[in-house]
Structure 1
C-alpha cells in the first residue's frame, strides 16, 4: 500500500514537471491532433532538434508521450492516461475554488434592495 502511494506521487510529480514548461505543453497540445516527429514538434517552437528531443524525453519520462523509432524518424504519440492523476489532484482544489468564488460572488452581487412605493 505504501509503495503504491509513493509510486502515485512520483507519477504525479513527473506529470506536473512535464507540464511546467510551455514548450512541452505546446507539444502535447499538438500531439492531441495526431502523431508527429520530433522535428515536426520542434519546428514551430524555433528550437533545435536536440532541444526538442530533450523536451520529448521529459514527456516520455512522465508517460505522456510514446516515441517510436522508424528508421531515422522518431515518431511521437500522445498518451493521455497519466494526465488522469493530475486531473484527479486538481479536482480536489476545484471544489475549494468553487466555494471561494461563490462567496466572492455573494459579496460582489448583494441582494437587490427592496423599494417601497409611497402612496400618491
Structure 2
C-alpha cells in the first residue's frame, strides 16, 4: 500500500465494484501490463481478488485485511495517546 500506483488501484476498487484491467488502466500513465503486475502484487497480499469473466480478469477489493490493519493501527494509536497522557500528567505535577 506504500506504492502510489497500488494505492490508486485500491482507491478505484474501494466502491466494491468489479473492474477489468482495461477499466483500471484508464486515466493512468502506465501500461495495462504494469497495472496487471501491480494487481498481482495486491492479490498475493490478499488485498484484491481476481475472477475470470469471459476473456477478462475482473478484480475486486478484499476489505478484510485493510480492516485488520486499521484495527491494529487504532490500537497502536490508543497506546500512544495513553502514553502521552501519562507523560503530560507526570510533567505537569
- Aligned partner (choices 25, 29, 34) of residue 42 of structure 1: 25
Gaps of 5+ in 1: 1-18, 104-120
Residues of 2 paired with 1:95 and 1:28: CA distance? Answer: 26
Which residue in the other structure is 1:98 paired with?
Answer: 81
Which residue in the other structure is 1:112 paired with?
Answer: none
TM-score (norm: length of structure 2): 0.77
Render the CA deviation track for 1:54-99: whole Å, top value 9, x for unaligned. 1000111111111112222111111101112211221122114435
Which residue in the other structure is 1:84 paired with?
Answer: 67
The 8 Å contact of residues 38 and 75 in structure 1, kept in 2 or not, is answered as yes
Render the CA deviation track for 1:2-31: whole Å, top value 9, x for unaligned. xxxxxxxxxxxxxxxxx1111111111111
Which residue in the other structure is 1:20 paired with?
Answer: 2
Gaps of 5+ in 2: 87-93
Residues of 2 paired with 1:48 and 1:101: CA distance? Answer: 47
